[in-house]
Amino acid sequence: MSENIIKITQVKKYFGGVKALDGVDLVIKKGEVHCLAGENGCGKSTIINIISGFYQPDSGTIEIDGKEYTKLTTQQAIDAGVQVIYQDLSVFPNLTVRENLAITMEKSSGRKFVSKKRFDEIAKRALSKIEFQVDLDELVENLTVANKQLIAISRALLTDAKLIIMDEPTTAITQKEVKNLFNVIRDLQKQGIAVLFVSHKLDEVFEIAEHFTIFRSGKNVFSGETKELTQASFTHYMTGRDIEEKAFEYAGSENAKTVLEVKNLTLANGFSDCSFSIREGEILGITGLLGSGRTELAETIFGIHKADSGEIYLNGEKVEISGVQDAMAKGIGYVPPDRGVEGLFMDQSIADNISVTRWADFRKGILMDRDAIEESVNHWVKELSIKIGNINDTMRTLSGGNAQKCVLAKWLCRDLKVLILNGPTVGVDIGAKYDIYTLTKKLAASGLAVIIISDDIREVLLNCNRVLIMKQGRLAGEFQAEELNEATLSAKAVE
């Protein structure tokens, strides 16, 4: 028997004239946690689809548990023990936990009639494999993203999985939930199950993976043991460039002009009695666990919610913000955590998405001044180094990092006083992440007041000069970033 669960050798894959994979290799041993890393568009998703039998390679060989396949189908991959947990988790939100866990096995058995007793037995057996407890009658749409992942993992284990592929599994979950997921992965490893952990997050690679493979532009760049890596070398292999991590230094003073001040702001069932201020040129961090009220606070300042009590001041003048249009008119911009749902019109053009916040300025009678829109959009595409084909392409043609830059561009084309970034680098790769960090610091240097809301401790410390901690709807502490490190800030956020 082979010691490898999977061995990919010199696999190539073309889509039209585009070479997605250019002779890549990938070897994963049984019971190993292996990280596949690379920026968006490097070929990670393509190789996952080849291992799962969804795509056929144009050349190269695929070997699973010692057996070579010339043409691997999805059913052959499943029968060989390969299970993929995609970013969208492939769960049925309108079905119960019980139904989600049992449906695959029931369908494969060819049964025509449903038995609740049989569903119960299957569901309980699945959950017991990772010692996960959840109400079987609960609709999956009501679960957290982390619990949806555990449902997907439990279901995968019913099919005698030997290799579980997790595609960017930590994109939408909190640090605490990441720790719980890692414990589940370690338990799977003890059972002899290999895990291919697909990620571009450095800290996760170092914590969970023993071996790693890095793709760039459809090619193998490096493969080896994780202990061989450093933060700098990992970033270089992924991006092809050296990126210097430099903490934000606030250039102003305590006497600098206060741009935004919040006094005793309260939103029922969201947060209460929150007071803070931010000066021009500052980057203020707000962190806390999921449910701490941090997003509700941001959305209230932006006018999505109307505060029940409290006051908001801009440049020393008390303002009433009764809606989003009010906030925009007063110079407040907001980048939401879910750009695909809240920040962009994914089926509309890049041009329309970037220009949408200024459509009133671009009106020419009953028509739109498309020449003025094109000029503005091209300016911001160049200014933010957004990689696009054509400004008339839809947003769906862009990578996560470039889409996020478009969200930023639509606000930067306005005259802003305050920019709120909620999870500014969720789902973007390393290169785009540091591009956004550089841009944020540049905006602060120009005098803009920036608020970053994030549970990425490293992100907060690298980009903010002050940090507020929220707990259970209240501001529980304020610190200068220089007073903190990753360990102390993590501890303060959960203590």
Establish how many alpha carbons lie within 13 A of residue 99's alpha carbon, considering only the half-sphere containing its beta carbon: 12
pLDDT, greater one: 1 or 358: 358
Instruction: Name which of 63, 47, 65, 43 is nearest 55 in CA terms.
Output: 47
Residues 210, 345: one domain? Answer: no
| Lowest-pLDDT choice from 109-123, 347-361, 363-377, 435-449 | 109-123
pLDDT, greater one: 274 or 119: 274
Which residue spans within 81-230 are E strands per DSSP? 82-85, 163-167, 194-198, 211-216, 219-225
Contact residues for 244 (Cβ-Cβ < 8 A; gap 6+): none
Residues 406, 476: one domain? Answer: yes
State the pLDDT confidence band at 243, using cuts at 50, 70 and 90: confident
Is 11 a domain residue? yes
Instruction: Name which of 420, 396, 415 is nearest 406 in CA terms.
Output: 396
Burial class (CB in 10 A: 0-12, 13-18, 19+), 144: middle
CA distances from 356 to 122, 183, 328 (A): 50, 44, 12
Cα separation, 266 vs 347, whole angstroms: 36
pLDDT of residue 305: 95
pLDDT of residue 129: 79
Residues 175, 321: one domain? Answer: no
What average pLDDT does range 54-76 have in this prediction?
91
pLDDT of residue 172: 66
State the pLDDT confidence band at 343, using cuts at 50, 70 and 90: confident
pLDDT of residue 189: 92
pLDDT, greater one: 203 or 37: 37
State the pLDDT confidence band at 1, using cuts at 50, 70 and 90: low
Cα separation, 72 vs 50, whole angstroms: 8
What average pLDDT does range 33-43 have in this prediction?
87
| Lowest-pLDDT choice from 121-135, 165-179, 213-227 | 165-179
426-457 pLDDT, tens digit each? 878 788 888 899 999 999 999 999 999 998 88
State the pLDDT confidence band at 399, using cuts at 50, 70 and 90: confident
What average pLDDT does range 290-304 have in this prediction?
92
pLDDT at residue 88 is higher than 70: no
Residues 204, 277: one domain? Answer: no
Residues 22, 157: one domain? Answer: yes
Range of the domain at 458: 258-494
Is 24 a domain residue? yes
Cα separation, 303 vs 306, whole angstroms: 6
pLDDT of residue 217: 87
Residues 163, 227: one domain? Answer: yes
Cα separation, 437 vs 435, whole angstroms: 5
pLDDT of residue 266: 96
162-186 pLDDT, tens digit each? 999 988 888 767 777 788 888 888 9
Share above pLDDT 70 across residues of the chain, in percent, rounded to a whole number: 97
pLDDT at residue 495 is higher than 70: no
pLDDT at residue 272 is higher than 80: yes
Is 253 a domain residue? no
Residues 37, 88: one domain? Answer: yes
Cα separation, 182 vs 239, whole angstroms: 26
Per the CB < 8 A criterion, the answer to whether 388 and 397 are in contact is yes
pLDDT at residue 90 is higher than 80: no
Residues 148, 276: one domain? Answer: no
Residues 137, 17: one domain? Answer: yes
405-421 pLDDT, tens digit each? 999 999 999 999 999 99
What average pLDDT does range 339-358 have in this prediction?
90
pLDDT at residue 89 is higher than 90: no
Q: Number of folded domains in the chain?
A: 2
CA distances from 75 to 28, 58, 80, 82 (A): 20, 20, 8, 10
Residues 394, 354: one domain? Answer: yes
Is 156 a domain residue? yes
pLDDT at residue 66 is higher than 80: yes
Residue 16 sits in a domain whose CATH number is: 3.40.50.300
Is 460 a domain residue? yes
Is 317 a domain residue? yes
pLDDT at residue 74 is higher than 80: yes
Cα separation, 47 vs 44, whole angstroms: 5
Is 29 a domain residue? yes
pLDDT at residue 201 is higher than 80: no
pLDDT, greater one: 444 or 16: 444
pLDDT of residue 239: 84
State the pLDDT confidence band at 489, using cuts at 50, 70 and 90: confident
pLDDT of residue 488: 85
Last residue of a domain, one of 209, 239, 269: 239
pLDDT, greater one: 172 or 316: 316
What average pLDDT does range 372-379 have in this prediction?
92
Is 248 a domain residue? no
Query: What integer best gives the mean pLDDT of the chain?
Result: 89
pLDDT at residue 51 is higher than 80: yes
Per the CB < 8 A criterion, the answer to whether 394 and 347 are in contact is yes
pLDDT of residue 450: 97
